[in-house]
Amino acid sequence: MRAYRLLTAEDTAAFCHKVTEALSKGWELHGSPAYAHDPATGTMRCAQAVIKDVEGEYDPEIRLGSL
């Protein structure tokens, strides 16, 4: 099964650490990062899609962050 996650957070070092942690757990970058202004909070937000091939069948109850 190929798993997909979209990592998002405010534009801080914490976002970079979130992506780096996913990469260290075997996730791979998928596409380009996105960067946008959030007018509700007045902050910039980042997003990066990641994918990972894992054994087993898809289950909607799976916690993708634990893969």
Residue 15 lies in a domain: yes
Tens of pLDDT along 5-40?
999 999 999 999 999 999 999 999 999 999 999 999
pLDDT of residue 5: 97
Kindly state the tokens that stand for 60.
Answer: 């909607």
pLDDT at 18: 97
How far is 18 from 56, CA to CA, in rounded Å? 25
Residue 16 is predicted with a pLDDT of 96
Residue 66 belongs to some domain of the structure: no
Q: Is residue 32 part of a domain?
A: yes
**Residue 49: inside a domain:** yes
Give the range of the structural domain holding residue 7, as residue numbers without chain letter. 2-57
Using CA atoms, how far apart are residues 12 and 55, in angstroms rounded to an integer? Answer: 33
Total domains in the chain come to 1
How far apart (Å, rounded) are the C-alpha atoms in residues 51 and 32? 13
